[in-house]
Amino acid sequence: MAIENSRRLWLKQAAFAAAASVFAPRMLFARAPTDRRFVFIIQRGAADGLNTVIPYADPAYASLRRELAIAADTAMRLDGTFALHPSLAATGELYRSGQALFVHAVASPYRERSHFDGQNVLETGGSRPYQRKDGWLNRLLDMLPGQKDAEAIALAPTVPLALRGKGQVASYAPSSLPQPSNDLLLRVRQLYEPDTQLHALWEAAMDTRGKAGNARGRQNPAELGKLAAGFLKRPDGPRIAMIETGGWDTHAGQNARLAAQLKNLDALLAALKEHLGTAWDQTIVLIATEFGRTAAANGTGGTDHGTGSAAMLVGGAVQGGRVIADWPGLGQANLLEARDLRPTLGLHTLIAATAAECFALDPRRTLQTLYPGQSAAGKLPGLLKS
């Protein structure tokens, strides 16, 4: 029996590995019977919201940021207070066409400055680190009608915490191994056809492999967006997705590093829009980070761990062309602990409101399911098109 169990485990891993050779890393999908697509992009490392959505009209911004300050005439002006980083050119065009909005001075309930703890709070929906073991995105999947047999797919070596929970999740890691020949795949299929369990695993892996097309290994941002769109636009494809991005921790040399990070994010979003086609009209992409960065520049051309940051909503279903902010100001008396942008809106409020609007769920029930025991922190206007 032990030998047979080991054989089954080996085959499961082999089947997943064969399918994984065509996947980009760090993407997760979940099927749902709806035309709406909800994509969560996490910015791991504490993205600098102040130099992403720039409060150029705040008199304290330039003096706090010194050499890191981005001049308004080099950025895209969004309104009389905020401008968008010049690396987000495609996202700026989405804003102009009413398909992107930005939410500033936003943060989770977490008030310390540990990446691990901050990401734990962001992904679990707890009010403190390690309070919960499941993720809010997994709980959202469970709220959707007809989701008893839904399955999420993690295109990563491990499933991120936001998608962990009682919902079914399979994990795939990218591979640089050579493509298996069709003859080999046929022989393996024939080998396991008599075994009901193993045959089902193999067929599921091959089905996912076929949906991925010719994608292989690690992808650049545009290819990653194209691959994600390929899954999301299929009639039988997933309706909930998560994409992880890293490298947002900019303690030194921030201007060049942040510009590169935002350019990659911009390319990812542009590719999603291009390759989703008409499905883009039913898509909402929410982009957020675990916490922001200090209001003032440090001594090494960067910024340190802070609190308040900026989040983005992008997609054809977004009621865009707006910046939503109860702006606290960057004057010394207005900063949190005399160093951070003070948050005036809870990130959990934004996420729950977006999810409820996206899938026509009850807002209060959505908030309490995704963020048990927490109340709304701040008020939001309608975020999506009806």
pLDDT tens-place string over residues 91-132: 999 999 999 999 999 999 999 999 999 999 999 999 999 999
Q: What is the pLDDT of residue 55?
A: 98
Identity of the highest mean pLDDT range in 142-146, 240-244, 381-385: 381-385
Q: Provide the pLDDT confidence category of residue 141 given band limits of 50, 70 and 90.
A: confident
176, 215 Cβ separation under 8 angstroms = no
- CB crowding 103-115: b at 16 or more within 10 Å, else e: bbbbbbbbeebee
pLDDT at 376 exceeding the cut of 80: yes
Q: What is the pLDDT of residue 255?
A: 96
Domains assigned to the chain: 9-370 (3.40.720)
Of 167 and 98, more confident: 98
Portion of the chain with pLDDT greater than 90, in percent: 65
Of 4 and 164, more confident: 164
Min mean pLDDT across 68-82, 120-134, 234-248, 261-275 is at 234-248
pTM for this one? 0.83
Burial of 197 (0-12, 13-18, 19+ CB in 10 A): exposed
Q: What is the pLDDT of residue 174?
A: 45
The mean pLDDT value for 153-157 works out to: 55
Cα 358 from Cα 383, distance rounded (Å):
9
Of 190 and 205, more confident: 190
Min mean pLDDT across 95-104, 140-149, 175-184, 313-322 is at 175-184
Residue with tokens 């999506």: 384
Q: What is the pLDDT of residue 252?
A: 95
pLDDT at 158 exceeding the cut of 90: no
Portion of the chain with pLDDT greater than 70, in percent: 76
pLDDT at 344 exceeding the cut of 80: yes
Cα 235 from Cα 217, distance rounded (Å):
25
Q: Provide the pLDDT confidence category of residue 170 given band limits of 50, 70 and 90.
A: low
Of 261 and 145, more confident: 261
Mean pLDDT of the chain: 85
C-alpha separations of 367 from 42, 260, 334, 350 in Å: 19, 35, 29, 10
Q: What is the DSSP letter of 302?
A: S
Q: What is the pLDDT of residue 10?
A: 44
The mean pLDDT value for 36-51 works out to: 96
Q: What is the pLDDT of residue 262?
A: 98
pLDDT at 302 exceeding the cut of 90: yes
Q: Provide the pLDDT confidence category of residue 14 given band limits of 50, 70 and 90.
A: very low
Of 40 and 169, more confident: 40
